[in-house]
Amino acid sequence: MNRKKSVFLITVLLAIFLGLIFTGCVHAQPTLSDLGFGENPEDVSLALQILIALTVLSLAPSILVMLTSFVRIIVVFSFLRSALSIQQMPPT
């Protein structure tokens, strides 16, 4: 039991150590604070467009599920299948 704990601890410490050693320069897009918006109205407009686009892209799947009746139909069919006791049939 004690050996398992020590092996686990050594593995975790080694993973953390290697993760810290091999971190390099990250080549990513600049953040919104690095874009320097706010100097003129066009830059503010671009930042707002990015914000609105990200909001729409993140909310679109949930809106699609809420507005379609596909999920409701599947739930009703599941209840109907349980009520008719046809659990043995393969799924369609």
Q: Is residue 90 part of a domain?
A: no
Q: Which residues of 49-67 are buried (b: 16+ CB within 10 A; e: fewer)?
A: eeeeeeeeeeeeeeeeeee
Q: Is residue 89 part of a domain?
A: no
Q: Is residue 91 part of a domain?
A: no
Q: Domains in the chain: how many in total?
A: 1
Predicted local distance difference test score (pLDDT) of residue 72: 83
Question: Average of pLDDT values for 18-39?
Answer: 68
Q: Is residue 46 part of a domain?
A: yes
Residues spanned by the domain of 13:
2-25+36-83
Q: Is residue 31 part of a domain?
A: no
Residue 45 above 70 pLDDT? yes
